[in-house]
Amino acid sequence: MQIRPLIALIVSIGLTAAPALAQGTHIPSFSATTVQTTPDQPDRAGKITKSGPYMRLEFDQNGQQVIQILRPTEGVTLVLFPQNHTYIQQTGPVQPEEFADSYAPPCPTQAEESGLQCTRMGIDVVNGIPVERWHIGAASESSQMLILWDPKRKRALRQEMSDGTLVQMTFLEMQEIEGREAEHWVTEFSRQGDATLRNEWWFDPELKLVLRETLPGGIRRYLTNIVVGPVDPGQFEVPDGWLRVETPNPILQE
């Protein structure tokens, strides 16, 4: 089964949602509508709801509504299918509550099992932003990567690959997006012999969330109808009477 939410948790160096802050700080609960526009294709819309370590994602896949609920402090992911009142429950590693919304390294999930060495080499400052210097690579391969990791935003401000590829992030200014103060950033991807690719994104430092981004090819992702405040805990539970199934819904398989 392949479940592709419109907005997903950041678990590596990639983009989308960043639901974390430094340990000991508080992220307000919120909900928002998610929209993705692609040239010559219908817009895709969904919803994201966040409260503490819990997150709920609502989206359509293959014409059917899907709800994904992530409860990392329990090691539980729920995938709900409202059309027939069924759900799937998946289990994984449990994150202690005090760390569920805190620090995360840039290492890929299960790096050691994949033969990757992920080593923290020290601390630097880039444009006034404290970053961690990391080296990621497999000892048996020539492909290596140097990352300057921003633990607050959970992104790499700079990535240098052994083949000469460079990914560089630059802060531009603060801007108001959907009534909220956001950091305006640009990311440039360059490789020898190829044109430089560029995308822009706007980061909410209070919600630790990307409010808007533009990607090469004319793709845009953004949040609207942002509501900050208490969220009903029932949003992260399976409704009474729904049937748990072990087999993926065939409508969602490709």
* pLDDT tens digits along 75-126: 999 999 999 999 999 998 887 665 445 567 788 665 556 677 888 999 999 8
Mean pLDDT on 207-213? 91
CA triple 190-109-60, angle to 5 deg: 80
| Element containing residue 156 per DSSP (H, E) | strand 155-161
**Mean pLDDT calculated for residue range 53-73:** 92
Max avg pLDDT among 111-115, 117-121, 128-132, 219-223: 219-223
In a domain, 21, yes or no: no
Is the residue at 105 inside a domain?
yes
Average pLDDT over residues 19-31: 62
Q: Is residue 7 part of a domain?
A: no
Is residue 19 one of the residues assigned to a domain? no
For position 109, what pLDDT does the model report?
60
Q: For 233, phi and psi rounded to 5 degrees?
A: -60, -25
Residue 183: predicted pLDDT: 95
Instruction: Tell me what percent of the residues of the chain surpass a pLDDT of 70.
Output: 79
Based on the structure, what is the number of domains in the chain?
Answer: 1
Long-range contacts of 232-237 (CB under 8 A, 24+ apart): 233/51, 235/49, 235/51, 235/56, 235/69, 236/51, 236/54, 236/56, 236/69, 236/71, 237/69
Q: How confident is the model at residue 140 (pLDDT cuts 50, 70, 90)?
A: low
200 within 8 A of 213, measured Cβ to Cβ: yes
Q: What is the pLDDT at residue 97?
A: 60
Q: Which residue has the tokens 């000991």?
A: 24
In terms of pLDDT, which residue wins out, 229 or 114?
A: 229
For residue 164, tell me if it sits in a domain: yes
Residue labelled with tokens 């981004």: 213
For residue 224, which of 38, 42, 48, 29 has the smallest C-alpha distance? 48
pLDDT band at 49 (very low <50, low <70, confident <90, very high): very high
The CATH number for 210's domain is 2.50.20
Mean pLDDT calculated for residue range 182-186: 95
**pTM greater than 0.75 (yes/no):** no
* pLDDT at residue 128, rounded to an integer: 85
173 within some domain: yes
The mean predicted confidence, pLDDT, of the chain is: 82
| DSSP assigned state of 9 | B
Q: What number is the average pLDDT over the span 185-193?
A: 90
Share of the chain above pLDDT 90, in %: 54
182 neighbors 173 (Cβ within 8 angstroms): no
pLDDT of 68 higher than 50: yes
Q: Is residue 24 part of a domain?
A: no
Q: What is the CA 228 to chain-centroid distance, rounded?
A: 19
Cα-atom radius of gyration of the chain, to the nearest Å?
19
Q: Residue 78 domain-assigned?
A: yes
Nearest to 234 by CA among 78, 125, 96, 121: 78
Q: What is the pLDDT of residue 101?
A: 52
